Amino acid sequence: MHAPFFIASLVALAAIASAQTKRGLPAGCDRNATVEYGDTCNAISAAHNVSTYQLAAVNSETIDSGCNNLVAGEVLCLGIKGQDCNVTHVMQAGDTCFSVADASGIQVNTLLANNPNVNTCDNVYPGEVLCTASQIYVNTTK
């Protein structure tokens, strides 16, 4: 009795999921990940060694500024070829930009250049994922 409605609902959900996964990744996307139910930007970033900033910047057409609109099944780009920082650190309580830079063997200026969202290190928080590569990946001339 309810089977036709159930099947129609499944078909509609599959169509929505298919449309979301086909939004198109940015040109030059080097690697990607599929959002799973309950994912957050920080969780995706930590699991795939991509900074929270990079994930948001690369997917700025998809992810809102608060990262509140992730949809299960959606495919996100993790990095653009030649600009893909995959050396990261997940911020813990008590971490500072200076302690992270020191532990990573990089200058604080390099850490800040690769994480422009950090500004003066006053706004980092536990769970945030920072790029800790010695090479500068972020194009600051945009």
Q: Which residue has the higher pLDDT, 97 or 5?
A: 97
Q: What value does the mean pLDDT take over residues 55-78?
A: 93
What are the structure tokens assigned to 13, written together?
């959900």
What per-residue confidence (pLDDT) applies to 29? 95
Straight-line distance from the first to the last Cα atom of the chain, in angstroms, rounded to the nearest whole number: 58
Average of pLDDT values for 1-18? 41
Walk me through the domains of the chain, giving residue ranges and CATH numbers: 3-131 (3.10.350.10)
What is the distance between the alpha carbons of residues 60 and 89, in angstroms, rounded to a whole number? 22
What's the whole-number mean pLDDT along residues 47-74?
Answer: 93
40-56: b or e for each residue (b if 16 or more CB lie within 10 Å)?
ebbbbbbebbbbbbbbb
Three-state DSSP state, 33 = strand
Output the pLDDT for position 139.
62
56 close to 94: Cβ distance less than 8 angstroms: no
The whole-model pTM stands at: 0.79
Q: Which residues contact 112 (CB under 8 A, 6 or more apart)?
A: 97, 118, 119, 121
pLDDT tens by residue, 69-120: 999 999 999 999 999 999 999 999 999 999 999 999 999 999 999 999 998 8
| Torsion angle defined by CA atoms of residues 32, 38, 39 and 43, in that order, rounded to the nearest 10 degrees | -140
By the 8 A CB rule, do 89 and 132 touch?
yes
pLDDT at res. 111: 96
At residue 14, the pLDDT reads 42
Whether the pLDDT of residue 121 is over 70: the answer is yes
CB atoms within 10 A of CB 87: 16
Residue 20 has pLDDT above 60, yes or no: no
**Burial class for 115, CB neighbours closer than 10 Å (0-12, 13-18, 19+):** buried
Q: Does 31 score more than 60 pLDDT?
A: yes
Question: Tell me, what's the pLDDT at 94?
Answer: 94
